[in-house]
Amino acid sequence: MRLSFTRLRTNNVMTTITDQIRDKFRNVLMFDQNMLILAALLGFLAGFASTFFRWMIEFFESIFSIEGFSLAGIPPQTYPFLLPFMPMVGGFFIGLICKYFPNAVKENGVHKVMYAVALNDGKVRKRTIASCAVTSSITIGSGGSAGREGPTVQIGAAVGSTIGQLLHLSTDRMRVLVGCGAAAGIAASFNAPLAGVLFSLEIILGDFAIHTFSPIIIASVIGTVTGRALEGNEVTFNVPVHELVHPAEIIFYLILGILCGIVARLFTFIYFYVQQIFEEKITIPGLYKPAIGGLIVGMISIFMPQILGNGYDVMEQALTGQMFWGLAFLLVFMKIMCTSITLGSGGMGGIFAPSLFIGAMLGTAFGSSIHFIFPTLSASAGTYSVVGMGAVAGAVMQAPLTNILMLFELTNDYTLILPIMATCIAASYTYQRFTKQSIYVQYLLNKGINIRHGREASIMNSIKVQDVMSTDITTIAQEMPFRKILETISYSKNFYFPVIDNKGDMTGILSFSDIREVIFEEQLGDLLVAGELANTKVYSLTPQQNLNEAMEIFSKLDVDQLPVVRSEDKLKVIGMLTRGDMMASYNRAILVSGFDQ
């Protein structure tokens, strides 16, 4: 009778402990479900905002065109003389907006989204949605040499940040929503869900952790569906089927990749050089600088109208083999110059479409030459144009994976995946021979801000693990039975538990996910011991390491907590570092340092 009572009491305790742990898991799952619901809502809103932005561009394109002239009652004989001045008129309007709303305009750009994620708790001002949409649509619609990618990212990120601020979410959740908005915007704008996900993870957040991956996928999918519902399910570029003609042809694509890397570096150099000239050398009031830039671009367009706008129609000519190689070669340098002038003078827009344009023209020129010399070993110039398009963009943005998938989604052509992969990687590595930084990171570096993995590197380097770690450790003896493990962890706030031997040396680590697999197998309660469940491959930190090094390990492993061990004895656990504590310390350091947009 006494034995039965003892067994009954033990079962009751076991049930209570199991219920406590189940409640912990339920709370975590409910929070994740809420994030997925928010991501779906955000996908719809950002997808609609992105599509509406495209409509705005089309509206201003009609205003600054022959159609707009005719509606205004302007005589047809004056059209050829007026068209080259449209970029200047658009630039003048941008100058006016910059003069009267300077704080709103200077928040525009992908680099500002990266800044918000790294240094401003993911907060993007609500007014950015309107300011970015209006200024960028005027610049592109009037003929400025820029793309819609940057503004689309900014608009989607601002929508995500606005929702996060309204719901008073934590900093980590706010950053995830910013990434969701950026992914949904890109996905809806280009009908490219995979590229939207990778763009957000690779460029905006710099973090491939699973807890950020899931909501971003949902947002990107819903954003794509929204864009398709409003604009139709069409690929951006309609190109003929391409293929790898001969295995030896891969050598030509590698050479093209090297050339794309060199041209990408030339683009970034001229971009920042022209920007510096307009900021430091041209002393006229800022009100007139965008108009001056627009006038220069307009004058060039008299001889080469292909450089106006985002150039998608011209790119399609190159992709279908309808472009003369000499003109394509000249357009490489003209587009670099005109995009640098448009954006460097104060115009608003992105660099993704110009990068695609430059790559397409370079691919056409190179492919025509190769096909003339080796007609039986090489494909047509249009094939090289497709490949070059993604290679230059991947090098400029230092995001080859994003551009490999985006190129596939933009053309709906999988047959060239091997040449695209080889060329994009070759271009990115060639670009890195000159500089390790993408055009976005370089922009921030010029302002004294060094972003790595979505965080400001100098701040992360200045904080040591020993300054942030918690000494509240819940250790588990390796011979502890499973029932006792459940009882021990039910009273702990940790999610990872070092397993130690009788000498106090760490032999492994247990996590909630390890325990969850057998938590409801009550018959194993007295049979399993901690040493059999523990993961013996343990990554740890030392007190003298900095948070930048810690972030590298957190990102690599996708865990939320790491043990901290003695520098002189890597088996003795002295603390635990959580991702949340690390980010909280980083955010406090930002406030103290006084970073400001």
CATH number of domain containing 116: 1.10.3080.10
In a shared domain, residues 273 and 378: yes
In a shared domain, residues 578 and 474: yes
What distance in Å separates the CA atoms of residue 353 and residue 198, rounded to the nearest whole number?
Answer: 17
**Residues 527 and 510: beta-carbon distance below 8 Å:** no
Chosen domain end from 430, 451, 472: 451
What distance in Å separates the CA atoms of residue 43 and residue 220, rounded to the nearest whole number?
Answer: 6
- Domain assignment present for residue 89? The answer is no
More confident residue, 415 or 10: 415
- Domain assignment present for residue 19? The answer is no
In a shared domain, residues 365 and 437: yes
User: What tokens appear for 57 in the block?
Assistant: 């561009």
More confident residue, 501 or 234: 501
In a shared domain, residues 481 and 377: no
| CATH code at position 486 | 3.10.580.10
DSSP 481: B
For tokens 């587009």, name the residue.
Answer: 335
In a shared domain, residues 353 and 494: no
What pLDDT is attached to residue 4? 44
C-alpha angle with apex 588: 587 to 591, nearest 5 degrees? 90
- The C-alpha torsion from 49 through 113 and 59 to 226, rounded to 10°, is -30
CA distances from 549 to 308, 453, 465, 556 (A): 45, 11, 9, 11
Domain of 212 in residue numbering reads as: 32-63+101-231
> Looking at the 3D structure of the chain, how many domains does it have?
3
What pLDDT is attached to residue 222? 94
- Domain assignment present for residue 16? The answer is no
What distance in Å separates the CA atoms of residue 455 and residue 442, rounded to the nearest whole number?
Answer: 15
User: What tokens appear for 439 in the block?
Assistant: 């055009």
In a shared domain, residues 127 and 190: yes
pLDDT of 364 strictly over 70: yes
What distance in Å separates the CA atoms of residue 499 and residue 557, rounded to the nearest whole number?
Answer: 19
In a shared domain, residues 570 and 424: no
Question: What are 51-75's pLDDT values in tens digits?
Answer: 999 999 999 999 998 888 888 778 8
Residue type, 474: T
Q: Give the residue-averaged pLDDT of 269-293.
A: 90
Chosen domain end from 231, 259, 282: 231
Question: What are 120-156's pLDDT values in tens digits?
Answer: 778 888 888 888 899 999 999 999 999 888 889 889 9
For tokens 């933009």, name the residue.
Answer: 410
CA distances from 352 to 187, 274, 349, 372, 390 (A): 14, 18, 9, 30, 10
- Domain assignment present for residue 400? The answer is yes
What lies within 8 Å, CB to CB, of 90 at 6+ separation is: 60, 64, 138, 139, 141, 142, 143, 144, 290, 294, 347
What distance in Å separates the CA atoms of residue 580 and residue 518, rounded to the nearest whole number?
Answer: 27
- Domain assignment present for residue 79? The answer is no
- Domain assignment present for residue 268? The answer is yes
SS3 call for 376: coil
CA distances from 578 to 24, 465, 494 (A): 17, 10, 9
Q: Where are the alpha helices (DSSP H) in 169-209?
A: 171-190, 193-199
Chosen domain end from 397, 420, 451: 451
Q: Which of 172, 178, 136, 131 is nearest to 156 (CA)?
A: 178
pLDDT of 8 strictly over 70: no
In a shared domain, residues 447 and 480: no
Q: Which of 565, 571, 506, 568 is nearest to 541 (CA)?
A: 565
User: What tokens appear for 329 in the block?
Assistant: 């070669």
What pLDDT is attached to residue 5? 39
Q: Give the residue-averaged pLDDT of 418-444.
A: 90
Q: Which of 123, 109, 127, 129 is nearest to 203 (CA)?
A: 109
Mean pLDDT of the chain: 83
pLDDT of 169 strictly over 80: yes
**Strand 455-456, strand 476-477: pairing:** unpaired
- Domain assignment present for residue 237? The answer is no
In a shared domain, residues 430 and 345: yes
Residue 64 buriedness (CB in 10 A; 0-12 / 13-18 / 19+): buried
This prediction has a pTM of 0.76
Question: What are 318-338's pLDDT values in tens digits?
Answer: 988 888 999 999 999 999 999
H or E element that contains 207 = none
In a shared domain, residues 438 and 478: no
| Gyration radius (Cα) of the chain, Å | 28
In a shared domain, residues 410 and 304: yes
What distance in Å separates the CA atoms of residue 565 and residue 544, rounded to the nearest whole number?
Answer: 10
What lies within 8 Å, CB to CB, of 310 at 6+ separation is: 140, 146, 147, 148, 353, 354, 357
In a shared domain, residues 55 and 197: yes
For tokens 């503004």, name the residue.
Answer: 151
Q: Which residues pair with 576 in a beta bridge?
A: 470, 563
**482-493 core/surface letters (b: 16 or more CB in 10 A; e: else):** bbbbbbbbbeee
- Domain assignment present for residue 332? The answer is yes
What distance in Å separates the CA atoms of residue 425 and residue 453, rounded to the nearest whole number?
Answer: 20
Question: What are 286-315's pLDDT values in tens digits?
Answer: 889 999 999 999 999 999 999 998 888 899
Q: Which residues pair with 451 in a beta bridge?
A: 456
* Percentage of the chain exceeding pLDDT 70: 87
What distance in Å separates the CA atoms of residue 5 and residue 23, rounded to the nearest whole number?
Answer: 27
SS3 call for 166: helix
